[in-house]
Homo-oligomer: A and B are copies of this chain.
């Protein structure tokens, strides 16, 4: 009993260590520069050992991708206590951009890099542990539904508006992270993203009072 328990615990510890090392390397150097061989070297195991704990590279980065959503939800959780849904919505937009700018590599993995989506497609059958991602998007949808219930965004579909709002902030963050801002403006760079983020607020402010065209 206790001895096979220990073995199992040790297996889980090594799996966690692989993940933790992958995370460290990934945050230092990004996805492309984090190889199975690098991870292996740092934990002092052979590269093939990693395949005893993860199906492939996508599987590792899918696990990290999930960690990213846990972190994002931490940013969001603080906003649960904003009473007014419209104020909460604007706070979500700001928190999202802040999360992206403070955790660039994670953001890249969660919303831009293809790898974790490949892993998700390979599983496909159950995929029920997308939980943390659903929680994040669900928070946005619920907030918008509350807004609509209060008379904001009259005549709009909540899910589509949630997606469109997400698109706005994702657009800002991904252009910043993939270096498309510097090319387009002289404003020094975190500034353009932050000013766009403020403008999203302004857009939301202007939107809600007018009836559909």
Which residues of A are at the interface with B, using a C-beta cutoff of 8 A? Answer: 111-114, 117, 120, 130, 133, 137, 156-157, 159-161, 163-164, 166-172, 174-175, 178-181, 183-185, 187, 192, 195-196, 199-200, 202-203, 205-207, 209-210, 212-213
Contact = CB atoms under 8 A, between A and B. Distances in A.
Contacts of A164: 168, 172, 196, 199-200, 203
18 contacts: A111-B175, A111-B178, A112-B174, A112-B178, A113-B178, A133-B183, A156-B202, A161-B199, A163-B181, A163-B195, A163-B196, A164-B172, A166-B171, A169-B171, A170-B175, A174-B174, A206-B207, A206-B210
B178 A117 contact: yes
A61 to B, nearest CB: 14
Between A179, A196, A212, the greatest number of chain B beta carbons within 10 A of the residue's beta carbon is seen for A196
A201 B83 CA distance: 30
B213 A210 contact: no
Nearest to A212: B202
Main secondary structure of the interface of A (DSSP, over half): helix
Contacts of A156: 199, 202
Contact of A192 (B160, B203, B212, B213): B160
Given A164-B196, A196-B163, A174 B170 contact: yes
Contacts of A205: 210, 212-213
Given A170-B174, A192-B160, A117 B213 contact: no
A189 B175 CA distance: 23
Given A207-B207, A210-B206, A117 B166 contact: no
Nearest to A111: B180
A86 B23 CA distance: 47
Between A114, A137, A178, A203, the greatest number of chain B beta carbons within 10 A of the residue's beta carbon is seen for A203
A2 B70 CA distance: 68
Nearest to A114: B178
Nearest to A179: B117
Contacts of A169: 167, 171
